[in-house]
Amino acid sequence: MTAAIELRDVAAAYGPFRALFDVSIAVEPGEAVALVGSNGAGKTTVARVASGLVKPTDGQVLVNGADMTGKRPYALARAGVAHATEGRSVFATLSVEENLTLSFRRLFGRGGVRSHLDEAYEMFPVLGRRKEQAAGTLSGGEQRMLSMARVMVEKPKVLIADELSLGLAPIIVDELYATLERLRAEGTSLLIVEQQVTHALALCDRVVLLAHGSVEWTGTSEEAAGVVTEVFSPVG
Ligand SMILES: Nc1ncnc2c1ncn2[C@@H]1O[C@H](COP(=O)(O)OP(=O)(O)OP(=O)(O)O)[C@@H](O)[C@H]1O
Ligand SMILES: [Mg+2]
């Protein structure tokens, strides 16, 4: 089977600092993989390499078998790779609706905006109620929902989500994970970066544990349940 996305023997660096060493991770079509590890392990760097934000110094990035190594982020996006980045990724001074309209116009053309706005508001009713509000004044959780609404409507082949649950109320985290579950049911492959492993383990088939820029352990979620919580996350 050709992986939806694969990092093969990837190394990456920030200037003289080497952040990743010989990392190989593959996400099969329709599969969900959790990428876990302690602070500074290199999870976000893996996510950045996979979506083209960081160029690997060695190794390859393959999307559906095609070599995308060193390609710019928009080329990876066109190939179906979406990256929900750590933190907030909305245009603060634009309204909720303007944010959504911008992405939908780019993706579906002018004629596709209305129906996809409706779809987004149906998925996240709070966004419909706040569509005139400047995105920068939304709460943290609402901003995350705005980012997710864009991704959900886009239905990417691969979604890389970095610390989706960070700083959010449990009920919102549940909601976000339910939308991930739905995306996956529709065929999107998921690479989920999480500190808080409980949700990630429940959603994902396989777990990759990163330590000091290398893959330290990989196995199924069942196998990971004991190992991973013990190894790195006492709060689990
Ligand atoms: N832009 C950068 N310039 C220099 N060093 C960086 C840069 N980004 C990350 N690093 C370093 O690379 C290492 C890996 O960082 P990365 O963000 O990938 O870790 P992480 O596993 O996502 O950590 P966290 O769980 O804290 O988000 C860290 O030591 C970090 O300080
Ligand atoms: Mg990170």
**Predicted local confidence at residue 114, as pLDDT:** 96
Q: Is residue 235 scored above 50 in pLDDT?
A: no
Atom 27 in ligand 1: residue holding the nearest Cα: 39
Q: Is residue 228 scored above 80 in pLDDT?
A: no
- One domain for residues 11 and 102: no
- One domain for residues 23 and 54: yes
Query: Looking only at Cα atoms, what is the longest distance across the chain?
Result: 51
Mean of pLDDT values over 187-215: 93
Of 23 and 123, more confident:
23
Q: How far is the CA of 236 from the centre of ligand 1 (A)?
A: 21
Q: Where are the beta strands (DSSP E) in 172-235?
A: 189-193, 206-211, 214-220
- One domain for residues 44 and 112: no
Q: What is the CATH number of the domain that holds 41?
A: 3.40.50.300
- One domain for residues 211 and 166: yes
What angle do the packed helices 113-123 and 96-108 form, to 10 degrees?
Answer: 130
- One domain for residues 82 and 47: yes
Q: What mean pLDDT is reported for the chain? A: 90
- One domain for residues 133 and 153: no
- Look-up of token digits 């245009």: 91
- One domain for residues 85 and 118: no
Around ligand 1, the residues with Cβ closer than 6 Å are 14, 17, 19, 37, 39-45, 195
Domain range for residue 112?
91-137
Q: How far is the CA of 164 from the centre of ligand 2 (A)?
A: 11
The pTM score is 0.89
Of 107 and 67, more confident:
67
Q: pLDDT class for 234, splitting at 50, 70, 90?
A: very low
The number of domains in the chain is 2
- One domain for residues 23 and 100: no
